[in-house]
A and B are shown apart, each in its own frame.
Chain A
Amino acid sequence: MYKLILIARYLLKRRITHFAIAAVALCVFIVVVVMTVMSGLVGEFKQKNHDFFGDCVVGTDSLVGFPYYQEFMDVLEQSGLAVGTSPVVRNYGLLKVVNYEARRPVEIMGIDPVRHIRTTDFGRTLHYRAGQPEKAFQPVYDPNALGIVWGADVFDLGESYGRRLYGDRPRQLSATLTCFPLTARGALAGIGGKPNTQGFYLSDLSLSGIARVDDSLVYIPLEQAQLLCMSGSEKRVSAIYIRFAPHVGVSEGTDRVAELWRQFKQAQAGALNSNLLDTVKVQDWKGYRRAVIAPMEKEQTLLGLMFVLVGVTTVFIVFVVFYMIVTNKRRDIGILKSVGASNLSVLALFSGFAFNVGLIGSCTGTLLGWLFLARINRIEQWLYEHFGWQLWDRTIYAIGEIPSRIEPQVIATVICSAIAACMMGALVPSYLAARLRPVETLHAVRT
């Protein structure tokens, strides 16, 4: 009982304890805020990639592409694995917007919008035709013209407070897209290797939330992409995006698609240009996007390591504070032992004290973190309005709001870690306190 009373009094009356609690609270606050924002950012980035590519990609890095994709999509549809399959042509070209001087290199993506919206989140990324994505390539001012959808940042829209100014309808812009078509052997098509050029009208803008996509990707109809970028008797694509049925897991589905692809490839052996099938890989969306996801995950891991250093600092602060407290409380320890307190009891007293410092500090830090995160977007807006200082450029991060959703498991982990850090920091001083001989502390000590 005396331990509870003394712990409460030490917590309330000792100023140095308040500093220890403040140090723990500050560390927890930083960890909660940064972890929440970083986890939110990485989580949303992964989700946007997942949305963009579907669950699985059967594709090749070669710009030549591969044939017989329609046959393989039939195999997939018969297997019952997929609810959506979308053939995609990917290539590079030059975009020239009429009446504007500059040409800019872009990545061309040829899609069938009806298939693509069943497989990916393409429909949701459209700004004007989100409700009718099948009409993505029909310009509102001329539905019979050939439409093009380009990334929200391909052509400067103008912005305000880091947000894009879209306007009520797509601007009436026409553009030409130029691309070098490749034969099935990988050579430039035509005499002298002349490029293909096709005119389009802007029909919509797409905002996927992936900065590199929104900055450089243009969508055109699949058939146009095949005409523009590929040459040969049989039609080819660069990839097939697949959305699995709800009951099929991504990993399991990818394995089964890989097996189907292996069988399909064997069955096509000897067919015209079947060698192109050898370059095709079957990967889940994460594997396909490993090159961009892995660095972010590494950054997150690095951040975790930095927080370990923050934790070590907390342990050291708590160690110093507790060492001072125990040194200051040597007389109390002697008094307690003179009235019969055991070593274990003294150890429990200071360990309990450390536990409470950790608990109060981490709860305070979490509460402050939660309050800060709940207002982080308002704070950021206030900073922008009053000082012109924008922390979060929407055009770069492509996420409308700073992530602020606190994960309960993150909070639980942070609180437990903070308490453990306090207990670790207090372990040695508490042990030393418990081992003190009462006569050492009582003899000739003046009050």
Chain B
Amino acid sequence: MSQLPVILRAENIHKSFRMGATRVNVLKGVDLAVHEGEFIAIVGASGSGKSTLLHILGGLDRPDKGTIHFNGRDLHRVRARELNRFRNERVGFVFQFYHLLDELTVLENVLLPAMVSRSVAGWLAGRRKARQRAERLLDQLGLRERAGHKPYQLSGGERQRVAIGRALMNEPKLLLADEPTGNLDSATGNGILTVFETLHGAGQTIVLVTHDERIARRAQRIVTLADGRAR
């Protein structure tokens, strides 16, 4: 695995938060390299900074200090527009609480990244292709029949699969999952992990954050976050 190229490299990442009058240092110099096609689980106790690290890796947040390189480019030195494009095309997020838009149907939620990246004219020109891709993803995730439903009409497991479909819509290089089974019962969570394993088997690079060692063991490599550092 180590012979495959590194697509994401985090070096000396520091991040602190102000909690009232005190400043809490959550990350104190995290180093991490993610190789292409790798499935990494980041584990750590609650409050250890796992989600914070994941957000920084995905360009949702900025580190106080340190660099993140994606395919050799420093993510936090690029313009906001390029960072938006990175989040749209290069990375897909799966959150613990699904974070689907209630106003959109299942199909529209999956199509959302494709719609965000295109103008109205661009969308009209490419919508057929995008729709086919979204329907294929829903097929693979076993949600074809649910395409016209609203998120609140689905179970937790179904919602999380919709979120995975949305994350994969623009065929990102990197899939980032923040406690994807944390809000699900064990059987449903197991189903979601199987989906991740299937994706990894197909070559998808995945970074998963969890506090559960059993879930972490399903990954190819485990990185433990403790005292603000990765081991």
Contacts and interface: CB of A to CB of B under 8 A. Distances in A.
B65 interface: no
A94 interface: no
A3 to B, nearest CB: 9
A337 B87 contact: yes
Nearest to B62: A437
Contacts of B86: 340
A40 interface: no
Contacts of B85: 340
A339 B60 contact: no
A10 to B, nearest CB: 7
B45 to A, nearest CB: 16
A316 B103 CA distance: 26
Range class of the A interface residue count: 20 to 34
Interface stretch (A121-129, A146-154, A328-336, A394-402): A328-336
Interface of B: 51-52, 55, 58, 60-61, 80-81, 84-89, 93, 95, 97-101, 103-104, 108, 112-113, 115-120, 123-124, 151, 159, 166
A307 to B, nearest CB: 35
B220 to A, nearest CB: 25
A6 B101 CA distance: 9
Nearest to B169: A339
Given A339-B87, A442-B99, A447-B97, A1 B115 contact: yes
A375 interface: no
Contacts of A437: 60-61
Nearest to B122: A1
A341 interface: yes
Interface in A1-58: 1-2, 4-6, 9-10, 13
A338 B118 contact: no
A443 B61 CA distance: 11
Contacts of A447: 97-100, 151, 159
Chain B CB count within 10 A is highest, among A13, A343, A438, for A438
Contacts of B120: 1, 4
Nearest to B90: A340
A437 B97 CA distance: 18
A445 B183 CA distance: 12
14 contacts: A1-B115, A331-B99, A335-B99, A335-B112, A336-B112, A339-B116, A339-B166, A341-B116, A342-B80, A345-B116, A439-B61, A442-B60, A445-B99, A446-B97
A215 to B, nearest CB: 64
Contact of B115 (A2, A9, A338, A442): A2
Given A339-B88, A439-B52, 18 more contacts: A1-B115, A1-B123, A5-B108, A5-B115, A9-B103, A335-B101, A336-B116, A337-B87, A339-B87, A339-B116, A340-B85, A340-B87, A340-B88, A342-B80, A345-B116, A442-B99, A447-B98, A447-B100
